[in-house]
Structure 1
Amino acid sequence: MSFFLYLKNIQINMAATEVLGRSFSDALYERYCDFESTFDDLKNDCDIVFFVGSSPKQTESGLILNASTVVLTDERISHVGDSRAVAISCSHVELVDISSNAFSDWHEISLLLSSLPHVKTINLSFNPFPSNLHILPVELQWPNLNTLCLNGSHIGLEMIVELLKKTQNLEELQICSNDYTKISSDYGFQHESLKRLYISNNNITDWQSICRLGHLFSHLETLIASDNPLESFRSDDDVNICLPYLHTLSVDKVQVSEWDDIVALTKLPCLNALRIHLTPLLKPYQKDERFFLLLGYMKNIIKLNGSVITANERETSERRFIRYYSQRDDKPQRYFELTEKHGNLKPLVDIKIRAPYLINVRLIYNQITYDKEIDVRQTVQQFKKYLHEIFQIPLTRLRLFYIDDFAFSMGVGGPEELKYPRRVLHTYNIHDGDQFHVDLKPDAPKPQHSNRTADITQRNKKSTDGNTTNSSTSSDDDKTNISIEISPFSFDSLQKLTEEKSTNNNNQTTTIELDYLYPSIDKNIEIKVNDDDHDDDLLLAAAAACNNIKTK
């Protein structure tokens, strides 16, 4: 019967299909061979559709997949369906992933594996297999199977052994998350081809069970046993016999708590790669301490926690191991072995080459003194804000001076003002006992305004009077009608002062006492005045006096 003829009969067996779930052949055709299905049919209530592999080719016997991998996870597959169509379609397939489906019958699994003669890897994880033992036919064999994944399937170890008898060439077995607690020693079987075993996330507590796995798999090379509550790596079994070829071991997240357990691992003759992180034994130590202690104990390790160990790292770790135990009474045997190799090493002197960042200084302001510990990693601006909070003085008026106490006492240094807000304090080379003096900037002078209205307004008014020809002949009525506040720098004041101080000699120096004009000025300004000074000259003198006041 061809693959298409089988599909025509699916409707007849629809009721049985609903009860048993989908068949492997049905799911295979829909995923890889159904070219007439619409996109909505392919979506099957999913938001994303993956198109895997190239198109199958049609032959006289049926469709043959060109892909070497078939992935049908979470498809509710419970049985094989048309085993002949499966064998033809998957004649080139080497890897099949049917994890998280509904397989529960070992007859269907046996039929599926027999229908996939060239498959090397099959993932049957997270299928609801029965935990009881099912005896498979004696003639049944799957010689091409290389990797078998049964994670989370809760298959009993007796059934695992039954499957191993049918897969004599199996090299990798994954049986993680199956709630195993103990490994028995009376299986009466030994698998000689298995090299890699994954048994993580179970409930194995004793190392003896691990050794029994070594008896079951006599040529085991890699053992991944992390996330098991192993309490020790010691047992009465001789690891030279049960695990003679083991070179890679992962025992992360176990419960060992003594260095003697690490010493026990050194008895594994071929062990050279170890992964161990989270354990009660290593928790009190820093990362670098864990590294050199583990390397110090395990002389044959060339790869630790995924990192390849160099010759320099090996020597450095062994020397640190010697120095670590040289000050302790509980010296292990490994310590004496390493002292014979490197000699008795004295502890290294702990020299701190970094500058301290907390300095005790004295803060002084207006006869108020504080002894404070400051962090010299802060900037000048941050330090001034700190002083502003201590002394309650305006930040905009704060001036800060640094005095090196030692240099000042030797007479070779004086106060240095801290002017640059972004400069870090430690760049001033501050030491304990140095001083910081706080000062206030003077208040900015307040500008004093004068009313410069009098004579200019009066003169402008008089110049517009058509009946008046000269400012000296203005009427008294005009003067009384205009209320004017006379400024010290008005035209009349300056003229009067000039008349009082002037002399009859040309280019004679005249001194204007500014205190007469402006009481706050204590300086004299000398102005050269000619006999025939005009009004503009007096105004220039007033401007010079004002400018001098402003600059002061």
Structure 2
Amino acid sequence: MPSLLEALELKYGTTAVDCSLTDEEIESSSPKAAVLVSIFIPKKSPRHTVPALLVLQDCDIDSAGNDKEKLRNKCKNVEELDLAQNKFSEWKEVFGILQHMPKIKFLNLSFNSLAKDLELKDGHYDFLKNLVLNGTRVSWPAVQRLIKILKNLDELHLSLNEYRAVDLDYENPETAHFCLKKLHFTGNPIEYWGEILKLGYVFPSLENLVLAECPIRSLNLNDCSRNLIDEDIQKLPLLTFSEDKANMNQSLYKSQKCQYSDQYSVENTSHLENKTCNKIRSETPCCRIIDKEPHSSFQMLQFLNINGTLLSMWSDVEKLAKFPTLKSLRMQNCPLFESPQEYTEHERRQLLMARLPSVETLNGGGVISLQEREDAERAFIRYYMDKPEVDRPERYAELVSIHGKLDPLVQVDLTPEKRVKVTFIYGDLIEVRSVDVYRTVFELKTKLESMVKISANKMRLFYVDQCLQTVMNHNYLRSAESDVFIFKRIFPEREIAQNMRLHKDKITCIIVYGLAPYLQKHLENQVKFLECIVFCFDESLNKIAQKNQMDSHIRFWDYERNQVTSRYLNLVFLHHTKATDLIDGFMAGLVQINHQGVLQISMEGLMKYFHAAVTSLRLLVVQNSLNTCLQYIVAKLLEKSPLKYPLTKALTFLNPATVAFAKTLAEENLRAALDILLSANLLPASVIQNADREYKTLLSDYYLLEQKKIFS
């Protein structure tokens, strides 16, 4: 297996020439600095330079290498090192690499087998801020020594290491690491929050904690103590005082074991059993923090990710609300939110927000607004107001004191009806049926064949709508009320006819908001592409609005009816009756029709003026069309043109006028073109150097200078 040095030489070559300048050389203006400033072409290909970000994943590297001096020269400028999925197994090899990288800030050792203990006790790695140890199975003693050595560590990744407990010396204040702010602990099979609480004591400045895919069942610390005590009690030998009391003692032990595991005390047992159980409790690590709160060690935590955990109780969410500085929470794919549940996804989000008053962002969304939070809190009150008082959380009383007792929301069902009652009349036969609105007309005719004894192909259905009759017959709105009496006389025995009401306000609403938009849209589609239109308008006073208005009518040939048709088009309110106001209103009325199809404009007086206006309008339409076409063509030319590429601009050094009269500009463009070709690896460095030298020779050629004089 190769060493790190061998992998570097394989990837970046065996030479170790450094193109960078030291700080002393820059400050002293050394000849080396002067040379590098004057030459624009890199002295050495970037391929042979070890970058500041060094990635050597899956290279089977297992050691640093034997030539330490050579390794130090190559890696002295490395700031980020990725050695994931290699063959490292010894920590001394890892630190043997780090000691040659004085500027190292980031180190990724994921999926290297580093389960052995760390023997190194000290070192100077002040620049190292981020350490990734995912899937390394690093031991807790090694982690303890790492955080002691890496005093400035800011971010630590310990995911996928199969930790079932946290074995750190959290009770010793001297082992606390105050610089670490981000900890990733994803995918470790820890089930009890008491173990997670230890991390907070070891890292008191922790701000970001990721516990995704950890099977944590509850934030209750008693669960940890109960489980560990139960496991230890199972290991106790049965206590017997005599052979005839063995069975009785065994039964007594089992019952007292259950009581102890629930209440953490053993009562009515022998003094020996009490003494043994108390000893177990004192020696159980998790029991030492049983009196703590779930947030006691996380006083600075701002971000918490518990996606994919096994939390299933709202009481755990209420414990999260007690974290003093928690601002962002990610909590998804938990049993608490899995179906079947009695609430929707939107309701779950509202219940979360209402329980977490200090959380500002939830599950990666935007900042929760004041309006959204208030809506969530009100929904929370309404959700629990019908629940028994014993099922209401403490947060309910707090929100009631803020918003008061709310009335329940009215349940409004906006689902469209699927069936309607329709009265069918055929001669003297009258029948009311419930009709499915999703049936076709032909299917409805088929259903009516048994009623009217007519084939569906020969049957014609007419829909009688009183509102439409009022519009088409130009009746007064109040006259529709009197038409209702006709229905009552025609159908004296029908309850629907006797209860029918059709006041003018109701029929107005149906016409304005039901029929009018449909008729207006139908008219617009009908006249949009007509080639011959007569536009008529008239100015009048609207007595209700007390404003002048311009009513527009059109006459056109209706191909559906095969005749000339006159239709009312629209109206435009006029503030004044000046000529400019009239022309503005006139132009607004023409918006909905094809301007080019206007043959005549009719109005009482002012005909010459508006004929001229129509001519000007047609010229304006033509000009706008030409301008739009020209803009589109120019935009397409610019889109497809190579002028937008930097290389095209740089190639102007080949322009004879530039060569003859703008020597400085020609040299700058040449450098730009060669630099682009070099960075794209289209030309080797040697060819570029020759081109630069020959071009400069060309510019200073005597014959060229003589031809330039003749040309000028």
- What is residue 363 of structure 2 aligned with on the other side? 305
- What is residue 5 of structure 2 aligned with on the other side? 25
> 1:206, CA displacement in angstroms?
0.6
> 1:400, CA displacement in angstroms?
4.2
Structure with higher helix content: 2
Q: Distance in 2 between matches of 1:204 and 1:253?
A: 13
Q: Mark the CA change 1:218 to 1:254 in structure 2 (over 3 Å): closer, same or farther.
A: same
Residue 87 of structure 1 contacts residue 117 of structure 1 at CA under 8 Å; is this kept in 2? no
> 1:211, CA displacement in angstroms?
0.5
1:120 matches 2:70: no
- What is residue 351 of structure 1 aligned with on the other side? 412
The match for 2:293 among 238, 242, 253 is: 238
Map residues 307-322 of structure 1 onto 2, 5 A cutoff: 307=365, 308-322=367-381
Q: Distance in 1 between matches of 2:315 and 2:132?
A: 34
Residue 124 of structure 2 contacts residue 149 of structure 2 at CA under 8 Å; is this kept in 1? yes
The match for 1:85 among 52, 56, 70 is: 70
1:272 matches 2:327: yes
- What is residue 210 of structure 1 aligned with on the other side? 196
1:142 matches 2:121: no
Map residues 147-296 of structure 1 onto 2, 5 A cutoff: 147-186=130-169, 188=172, 189-235=175-221, 236=290, 237-239=292-294, 241-283=296-338, 284=341, 285-296=343-354
Residue 86 of structure 1 contacts residue 116 of structure 1 at CA under 8 Å; is this kept in 2? no
Deviation digits for residues 379-428 of structure 1 (CA, Å, limit 9, x no counterpart):
x7x45357669979988656444567998954799xxxxxxxxxxxxx99
The match for 1:105 among 70, 81, 90 is: 90
Specify every segment of 5 or more residues in structure 2 that has no aligned partner in the other structure, as ranges: 16-40, 222-289, 467-482, 492-513, 516-712
TM-score, normalization by structure 2 = 0.47
Deviation digits for residues 352-387 of structure 1 (CA, Å, limit 9, x no counterpart):
34532344668999999996662x3x4x7x453576
Q: Mark the CA change 1:402 to 1:56 in structure 2 (over 3 Å): closer, same or farther.
A: same
Q: Mark the CA change 1:269 to 1:385 in structure 2 (over 3 Å): closer, same or farther.
A: same
Map residues 374-453 of structure 1 onto 2, 5 A cutoff: 374=436, 376=437, 378=438, 382-384=440-442, 399-402=460-463, 409-410=487-488
Q: Distance in 1 between matches of 2:10 and 2:42?
A: 12
- What is residue 475 of structure 1 aligned with on the other side? none
The match for 1:65 among 28, 32, 49 is: 49
- What is residue 439 of structure 1 aligned with on the other side? none
Partner AA of 2:158 in structure 1:
I
Deviation digits for residues 497-535 of structure 1 (CA, Å, limit 9, x no counterpart):
xxxxxxxxxxxxxxxxxxxxxxxxxxxxxxxxxxxxxxx
Q: Mark the CA change 1:104 to 1:317 in structure 2 (over 3 Å): closer, same or farther.
A: same
Q: Mark the CA change 1:337 to 1:139 in structure 2 (over 3 Å): closer, same or farther.
A: closer
Deviation digits for residues 65-124 of structure 1 (CA, Å, limit 9, x no counterpart):
363211111111111123332322222221111111111122211101112211100110
Q: Mark the CA change 1:383 to 1:241 in structure 2 (over 3 Å): closer, same or farther.
A: same
Q: Distance in 1 between matches of 2:144 and 2:419?
A: 68
> 1:148, CA displacement in angstroms?
0.4
Which protein is bigger by CA-based radius of gyration? 1
- What is residue 500 of structure 2 aligned with on the other side? none
Q: Mark the CA change 1:327 to 1:88 in structure 2 (over 3 Å): closer, same or farther.
A: same
SS at match of 2:322: coil
Partner AA of 1:320 in structure 2:
A
Q: Distance in 2 between matches of 1:303 and 1:384?
A: 56
TM-score, normalization by structure 1 = 0.60
SS at match of 2:99: helix
Partner AA of 2:403 in structure 1:
H
Deviation digits for residues 321-349 of structure 1 (CA, Å, limit 9, x no counterpart):
11111111122111111111111111111
Residue 169 of structure 2 contacts residue 202 of structure 2 at CA under 8 Å; is this kept in 1? no
Q: Distance in 1 between matches of 2:332 and 2:319?
A: 17
Q: Distance in 1 between matches of 2:331 and 2:61?
A: 39
Q: Distance in 1 between matches of 2:42 and 2:137?
A: 36
Q: Distance in 1 between matches of 2:309 and 2:407?
A: 35
Q: Distance in 1 between matches of 2:396 and 2:155?
A: 39
Q: Distance in 2 between matches of 1:76 and 1:401?
A: 85
- What is residue 339 of structure 1 aligned with on the other side? 400
Deviation digits for residues 270-324 of structure 1 (CA, Å, limit 9, x no counterpart):
1111110111222223111111111111111111111211111111111111111
Q: Mark the CA change 1:214 to 1:388 in structure 2 (over 3 Å): closer, same or farther.
A: same
Residue 277 of structure 1 contacts residue 305 of structure 1 at CA under 8 Å; is this kept in 2? yes
SS at match of 1:281: helix
SS at match of 1:108: helix
Q: Mark the CA change 1:64 to 1:139 in structure 2 (over 3 Å): closer, same or farther.
A: farther
Q: Mark the CA change 1:363 to 1:269 in structure 2 (over 3 Å): closer, same or farther.
A: same
Answer with 156-165 or 110-119: which moved more: 156-165
Residue 125 of structure 1 contacts residue 151 of structure 1 at CA under 8 Å; is this kept in 2? yes
Residue 90 of structure 2 contacts residue 116 of structure 2 at CA under 8 Å; is this kept in 1? no
Partner AA of 2:107 in structure 1:
I
Q: Mark the CA change 1:203 to 1:387 in structure 2 (over 3 Å): closer, same or farther.
A: farther
Q: Distance in 2 between matches of 1:118 and 1:260?
A: 47
Percent sequence identity is 32
SS at match of 2:107: strand
Count the aligned residue pairs: 367
Residue 64 of structure 1 contacts residue 90 of structure 1 at CA under 8 Å; is this kept in 2? no
Residue 213 of structure 2 contacts residue 307 of structure 2 at CA under 8 Å; is this kept in 1? yes
SS at match of 2:209: strand
> 1:212, CA displacement in angstroms?
0.5
Q: Distance in 1 between matches of 2:426 and 2:188?
A: 71
Q: Distance in 2 between matches of 1:218 and 1:412?
A: 88
Residue 421 of structure 2 contacts residue 432 of structure 2 at CA under 8 Å; is this kept in 1? no
> 1:234, CA displacement in angstroms?
2.4
| CA RMSD between the two structures | 3.5
Q: Distance in 2 between matches of 1:72 and 1:301?
A: 40
SS at match of 2:336: coil
SS at match of 1:208: helix
Q: Distance in 2 between matches of 1:159 and 1:292?
A: 44
Q: Mark the CA change 1:185 to 1:110 in structure 2 (over 3 Å): closer, same or farther.
A: closer
Residue 76 of structure 1 contacts residue 101 of structure 1 at CA under 8 Å; is this kept in 2? yes
Q: Distance in 1 between matches of 2:424 and 2:136?
A: 74
> 1:141, CA displacement in angstroms?
3.3
Deviation digits for residues 142-166 of structure 1 (CA, Å, limit 9, x no counterpart):
2211000011112222222222221
SS at match of 1:22: coil
Residue 217 of structure 2 contacts residue 312 of structure 2 at CA under 8 Å; is this kept in 1? yes
SS at match of 2:62: strand
SS at match of 1:197: strand
Q: Distance in 1 between matches of 2:4 and 2:298?
A: 40
Q: Distance in 1 between matches of 2:408 and 2:63?
A: 70
Residue 13 of structure 2 contacts residue 48 of structure 2 at CA under 8 Å; is this kept in 1? no
> 1:30, CA displacement in angstroms?
2.5
